[in-house]
Structure 1
C-alpha cells in the first residue's frame, strides 16, 4: 500500500472510491436518492479540485486502485482541524488502510490541538472505528446537506496531553 498526497489526476478514482464506500456504509441508513445527491455535490470534480487547494487530501493506493482516502482541513485559529472524509473501499477494509491514512494526516497536522468530525448516527462501523482511534462523542445533532437532513454525531479527538 502506498499513501501519498492526492492530485487532480486522482479525481475519477477518488469519486469511484467515494461511491463504493458510501453505498456500502449507508445502505439501509440513507435513501439511495439522498446518497446520489450527496455524492454528486461533495465529490463533483469542481468540489474535489477546491478541496485539494484548501485542505489536506491523501489517497491510499493498491496497485492501480485508490483503496481509500482522507481529507482534513488545516488547523484554524483555534488550532482545530476537521476530518471532512475518511473512506476505504469495502474490499480493502480491515487491512490497515484507514490507520495508515490517519497516520499520514496526523504527521501533517502537527499544529492541530483537536480534530473534529461528524458521522452519521446509525453508522455503527464508522463510529466504532473513530472511537477505537481516540475520538469521543461530543454531541448529537441534525445536519442538513442540500435538501436532505441526517442525524449526526459530533466527535472530537484531542492531541493535547
Structure 2
C-alpha cells in the first residue's frame, strides 16, 4: 500500500531513481536512450530536484510504502498564466502502474492550489497511455508546442488542461 505525502530533501535520491526508471521506460522508444539520458541529466540533476523542492507555490509529492517510493508528482503555479497550476511531473514506477497510484497522486496535487482554476500539462503526443490516463482524469486537449525541452531540442508536446473545481 502506498500513501501520498509531501516529499522531503531526504527523498531526493530515491525520487531521482523513480524518475530515471520511469523516464527510460516511457521515452526510450520515442527518442532513444542517449537523448533520454541527456534529458534526465538536465531535468533531474540533484540540484534541479532540490530547486523544485524549495520552490514557492509548488507541491512535490511522493507515493511511499514505508519501504520504497513508487511514484513522484510535482506541480507549481504558473508564473505566466493566471490561475493556472502546471503539472510538471507525474511518474509511477512501471511495475506499479495501473494500480491507482497515479490517480491518488493527481487527486492530492489538484487540491494543493486553491487559487488555481486550471491544471495544465504537456505530454508526448505519441504517449497514448499517458494521454488516456489524463483523459480519464478529465483533461482535454488545449494546444501543441512544437519545440520544447533543453536547448529547444525540437521535442513536440500536446498541451492538456483540466478545469479545477472551485475551492
User: TM-score, structure 2 length as denominator?
Assistant: 0.90
- Whichever structure has more strand as a proportion of its residues is 1
Indicate the residue corresponding to 1:68 in structure 2. 71
1:110 matched to 2:114: yes
Q: What aligned pairs does 1:49-60 form with structure 2 within 5 A after superposition? A: 49-54=50-55, 55-60=58-63
CA contact (8 A) 1:11 1:48 kept: yes
1:100 matched to 2:101: no
Indicate the residue corresponding to 1:153 in structure 2. 158
User: TM-score, structure 1 length as denominator?
Assistant: 0.93
Task: Give SS of 1:67's match.
Answer: strand
Task: Give SS of 2:35's match.
Answer: helix
Indicate the residue corresponding to 1:17 in structure 2. 18
| Paired residue total | 161
CA RMSD in angstroms, aligned pairs only? 1.5
**Gap runs ≥5 in structure 2:** none
Deviation beyond 2 Å, 4+ runs, structure 1: 74-77
Indicate the residue corresponding to 1:130 in structure 2. 134
Q: Deviations over 1:45-88 (max 9, x none)?
A: 10111111112100001232110011000365711110011000
